[in-house]
Amino acid sequence: MSRVKRGTTKNKSRKNVLAQVKGYRFGRSTKKKQAKEAIMHAGAHAFAHRRSKKRTFRQLWNIRINAAIRPLGMTYSRFIDALTKKNVSINRKMLSELAQDHPETFEKVANEVKS
């Protein structure tokens, strides 16, 4: 069986790993072993934070809705309860955009739900 030299394959692998960690600091950007570990951690954090971003935005929407509904004499939880009872199907993202950008429309929705 003939001999296989791994030089080009190994260099290509190293080059690809180091390309992924461009901009990292210290040995993580120059040493393959540290770079691979950095990639693994970065991937784990990226996965987790894609999930937590959804959580964070929903919290923001809730806060915006609550801030807009309080002056109208309701709380967030009572408002959402009233929406579900009246079968008004506007999601929280749209409600928060209404509250922030179109307060008069949001007030109409709130008054519709109140009565």
The model's pTM: 0.76
pLDDT in tens, 6-40: 899 999 999 999 999 999 999 999 999 999 999 99
Domain ranges of the chain: 9-114
- The CATH number of domain 9-114, selected from 3.40.50.2000, 3.40.50.700, 1.10.150.120, 1.10.1900.20: 1.10.1900.20
pLDDT at 5 over 90: no
Percent of the chain with pLDDT over 70: 100
pLDDT in tens, 57-92: 999 999 999 999 999 999 999 999 999 999 999 999
pLDDT in tens, 38-47: 999 999 999 9
How many Cβ atoms sit within 10 Å of the Cβ of residue 31?
A: 16
CB 26 within 8 A of CB 40: no
Of 61, 101, 95, 100, residue with least CA distance to 113: 95
Instruction: Supply the pLDDT for residue 115.
Output: 79
